[in-house]
Amino acid sequence: MSEALVALNLARGRAPGDRVVGHRDLGSHALLLSLLDPDILNGFREQVLGPVERWDLDHGTDLLQTLRAFLTNGGRWRATATHLHIHHNTLRYRLRRVELLTGRRLDEVADRLDVQIALLVPDRRTR
């Protein structure tokens, strides 16, 4: 019964069209995040990613997409640069800007984990 409630809460927290919850979603971080108060999660996302999101809006950049691509590619610089069709030095510049805005170093495990968790919290503005 508790797994069903967790699955329901996970599905409700997702964007329309992405609400199917599978057995893999109920393990590890997804389950832990579903147990937290949404206001706490939103506050965490805002604290970690808010400066990057505001920078993107103010400057017409897409640092958040760059960050997401970097983490999706396992922190591999050249693979990410290739994926984004940019030079690897451009990628380094963008991610350095992310580090300055967030106060987190992407080569530090704890800092990278904070960023990855924040990216898992749905953006309230897109719901």
Residues 6+ apart with CB under 8 A from 21: 7, 10, 11
DSSP state of 96: H
> What CATH architecture is 38-126?
Orthogonal Bundle (1.10)
pLDDT digits (tens, 9 = 90+) for 40-63: 888 999 999 999 999 999 999 999
Domain ranges of the chain: 1-35, 38-126
Q: In angstroms, what is the C-alpha Rg of the chain?
A: 16
Position 124 scores a pLDDT of 66
**Which of 26-35, 81-90, 116-125 has the weakest average pLDDT?**
26-35
pLDDT digits (tens, 9 = 90+) for 70-92: 999 999 999 999 999 999 999 99
The three-state (H, E, C) secondary structure of 41-71, written as one string: HHHHHHHHHHHHHHHHHHHCCCHHHHHHHHH
Q: Please give the helix or strand (H or E) that residue 34 lies within, else none.
A: helix 28-34
Q: How many residues are recorded in the chain?
A: 127
